Amino acid sequence: MPSVPEIVKECEENMRKAVVHLQEEFATVRTGRASSAMVEKIRVEYYGSEVPLQQLASFSVPEPRVLVVAPFDKTALKDIEKALQSSDLGITPSNDGSIIRLTFPQLTEERRKELVKMVKHRGEDGKVAVRNVRRSAKQSFEALEKDGGISRDELERVEKDLQKTTDKVIAEIDEMLVHKERELLEV
């Protein structure tokens, strides 16, 4: 049976992982500005195996709405272009023989609102994940108390601390949501 500090540590690590995952999800949401985070994880068929694009190319942003993908191996250019075309970016890559340019169009008001809804949904999923971590830790504390590992008073104290940690992480997620929503609605 794990001790209280072990349960608390695991709980905090899992909550942190949920926040990091949400940050990565938010980075992939298009805001009208070019960002390598939108394409880094796209899988490219390269010599018979699926490889993330970030392992095959470097990225640069010469203009706010232009992303340049420069493959390390020029023979991979066609494969990268094909992967970008079939991705859910909705952008047609232009290939000049040595690099690929992605030009991001301005987002329409309607599309911005759709993206805000999607971001809010992902934020809610993140909060649910954090609450699930809290519930799991709470069950571990209750089992520990039932087995006589901690007293009733200590159980109440650690549950209060757990709730404070949960509230802090959820506030962080809310802050990320507000920031991303502002970024999306900015014209």
Q: What is the pLDDT of residues 137-146, one digit of tens each?
A: 999 999 999 9
Superfamily of domain 4-27+108-185: Ribosome-recycling factor (1.10.132.20)
Q: What is the pLDDT of residue 167?
A: 96
In CATH, the architecture of 36-103 is 2-Layer Sandwich (3.30)
pLDDT at 171: 96
Q: What is the pLDDT confidence band of residue 114, given thresholds at 50, 70 and 90?
A: confident
Residue type (1 letter), 14: N
Instruction: Tell me the average pLDDT across 93-107.
Output: 87
User: Is it the case that residue 173 has pLDDT exceeding 90?
Assistant: yes
pLDDT at res. 166: 96
pLDDT at position 27 is 81
Question: CA 139, CA 18: separation in Å to the nearest integer?
Answer: 19
Q: From 13, 63, 23, select the one nearest 165 (Cα to Cα).
A: 13
Residues 36-56: what's their mean pLDDT?
88
10 CB burial (10 A radius; 0-12, 13-18, 19+): middle
Give, to the nearest 10 degrees, the angle between helix 109-146 and helix 4-27: 170
Domain range annotation of the chain: 4-27+108-185, 36-103
Give the distance, in angstroms, between the CA of residue 103 and the centroid of all CA atoms in the same chain. Answer: 23
Nearest to 19 by CA among 182, 175, 184: 175
- Model confidence band, residue 187 (pLDDT cutoffs 50, 70, 90): low
pTM > 0.85:
no
